[in-house]
């Protein structure tokens, strides 16, 4: 059953566009979810799977830069790694918004693209200057993040029902705008697209929901869905992680009570994603009915992944494993072959350059990522400048104190700070990480993890101390990791593109 607040927008009268693509630059719909793992969309987002994933390209080796909300979103907005924006925490002073002067929407706006951001932009630490209810400004006099013609941001980001929003500097209170947040964000997103189409302009829509982030509160009309679903029981679920760093190695086995709680979380996560799928459906219908499918790209991803019982971890993120760092990315639009795949290593820092490339705007040299457009269409002026990437950096600065998750299992501690590379070689795929006790100093790591993902995709066996692992290989990975940890931009001796 469709939600009442979105039902009016779901005029599925024309689900296929027609006509010749206009000469205007293409438009872009960017759909960003929160804490979404790779597999959940197959269960809860059928329209998104059919009309974006199957209609376009599916990136099978796509990763976040930091597996926690605010730094990963900073990487998306800035197209830069955390060590280049000093945004590796999750919202502490001075917050996650130091990079706003170089954000990709500024360059889209300069290229004549109408830009709109709706929903979760950053965590509370990055939103205080934009939201009057968070104490740094007064309504009507708050800043709006640079680069947005229309900004409708959540204040704070953790709300599901009757929320506060910052709308171009003015605070919108729950008394002025009630409703389920995902539906509100969807409705506002469709209104923005509809107006841009009516004005015959190219647009960039950034539609970012809080779903399926905890507390993963479903819309009332979806609260009884998926009664028979349980969290996936892979070989790593409730498995001992004795060879992993201490947060994992000391996790107690999942009790029956905790397992049931994790299953409840899983079901509610799926339920919240049904509302995200409604947004995709509504936007697709609006664009199709206007005959604009031929010049519109749809892009869907998540800020980072999520674990739910793997290695006895509870319900959270922040870890170095594939569950937390690997995320979905699908792109559908002009020139992209339906049902195609991108197997190259790619990540959030590539999104900004890709968006600029799509509309024909210059890509700044200080971005750490490169456009994916040549790889997914073969049609870009930057094609000759886009070799295969073989390595991706993941970096995380731990929270200042020990943190437990909703089922009481440890999810982070001060010495969970790490840097890692996810690499694809001619003889296999590997994940290598170094853990530090000393903030962001990795001169003397206290622990190492190494996984052969070709032979061990679930990361069950840490091979770092295995006698069969050559010392020379470990040294090569160490040097490659520290080279990326010092990288800046995409050219020169310290290039981030390796």
What residues are labeled active site? Answer: 69
Residue 194 and residue 286 in contact, taking contact as beta carbons nearer than 8 Å: yes
Helix axis angle, 181-198 to 256-289, nearest 10°: 20
Q: What is the rounded CA–CA span in Å between residue 435 and residue 420?
A: 9
Residue 437 and residue 446 in contact, taking contact as beta carbons nearer than 8 Å: yes
Helix axis angle, 351-359 to 69-78, nearest 10°: 30
* Start-to-end C-alpha separation, the chain: 48
Q: What is the rounded CA–CA span in Å between residue 206 and residue 192?
A: 10
Residue 127 and residue 144 in contact, taking contact as beta carbons nearer than 8 Å: no
Q: What is the rounded CA–CA span in Å between residue 194 and residue 27?
A: 12
With the CA atoms of 187, 189, 190 and 196 taken in that order, what torsion angle do they form, in degrees rounded to the nearest 10? Answer: 140
User: Which tokens hold the place of 131?
Assistant: 């939201």
- The percent of the chain in helix, strand and coil, each rounded to the nearest 5, is 30, 20, 50
Spell out a b/e string for 34-62, using b for 16 or more CB atoms within 10 Å of the CB, else e.
bbbbbebbebbbebbbebbbebbbbbebb
Q: What is the rounded CA–CA span in Å between residue 45 and residue 180?
A: 18
Radius of gyration of the chain (CA): 22
């Amino acid at each position: 059953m469709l939600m009442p607040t979105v039902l009016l927008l779901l005029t599925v009268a024309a689900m296929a566009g027609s006509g010749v693509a206009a000469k205007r630059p293409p438009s872009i719909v960017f759909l960003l979810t929160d804490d979404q793992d790779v597999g959940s969309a197959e269960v809860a987002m059928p329209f998104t799977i059919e009309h974006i994933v199957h209609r376009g390209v599916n990136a099978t080796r796509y990763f976040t830069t930091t597996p926690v909300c605010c730094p990963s979103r900073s990487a998306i907005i800035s197209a830069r790694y955390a060590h280049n924006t000093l945004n590796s925490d999750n919202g502490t002073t001075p917050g996650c918004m130091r990079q706003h002067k170089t954000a990709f929407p500024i360059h889209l706006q300069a290229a004549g693209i109408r830009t709109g951001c709706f929903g979760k932009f950053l965590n509370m630490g990055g939103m205080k200057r934009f939201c009057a209810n968070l104490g740094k400004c007064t309504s009507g006099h708050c800043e709006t993040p640079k680069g947005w013609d229309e900004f409708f941001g959540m204040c704070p980001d953790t709300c599901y029902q009757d929320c506060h929003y910052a709308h171009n500097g003015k605070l919108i209170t729950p008394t002025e705008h009630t409703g389920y947040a995902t539906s509100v964000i969807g409705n506002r997103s469709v209104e923005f697209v509809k107006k841009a189409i009516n004005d015959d302009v190219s647009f960039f829509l950034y539609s970012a929901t809080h779903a399926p982030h905890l507390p993963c509160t479903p819309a009332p009309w979806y609260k009884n869905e998926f009664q028979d679903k349980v969290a996936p029981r892979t070989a790593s679920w409730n498995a001992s992680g004795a060879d992993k760093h201490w947060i994992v190695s000391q996790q107690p086995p999942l009790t029956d009570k905790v397992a049931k709680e994790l299953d409840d979380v899983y079901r509610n996560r799926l339920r919240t994603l049904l509302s995200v799928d409604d947004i995709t459906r509504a936007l697709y219908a609006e664009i199709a009915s206007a005959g604009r499918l031929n010049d519109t790209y749809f892009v869907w991803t998540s800020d980072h992944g999520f674990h739910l019982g793997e290695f006895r971890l509870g319900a959270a993120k922040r870890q170095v494993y594939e569950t937390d760092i690997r995320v979905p990315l699908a792109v559908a639009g002009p020139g992209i072959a339906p049902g195609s795949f991108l197997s190259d290593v790619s990540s959030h820092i590539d999104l900004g350059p890709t968006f600029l490339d799509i509309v024909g705007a210059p890509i700044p040299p200080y971005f750490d990522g490169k456009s994916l457009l040549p790889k997914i269409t073969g049609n870009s002026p930057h094609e000759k400048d886009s070799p295969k990437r073989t390595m991706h950096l993941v970096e995380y600065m731990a929270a200042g104190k020990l943190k437990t998750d909703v089922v009481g299992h440890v999810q982070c501690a001060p010495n969970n700070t790490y840097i890692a590379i996810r690499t694809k070689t001619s003889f296999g795929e590997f994940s290598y990480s170094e853990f530090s006790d000393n903030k962001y100093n990795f001169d003397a790591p206290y622990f190492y993890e190494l996984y052969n993902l070709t032979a061990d995709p679930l990361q069950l066996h840490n091979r770092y101390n295995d006698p069969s692992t050559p010392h020379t290989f470990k040294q090569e990975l160490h040097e490659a990791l520290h080279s990326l940890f010092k990288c800046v931009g995409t050219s020169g001796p310290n290039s981030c593109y390796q």
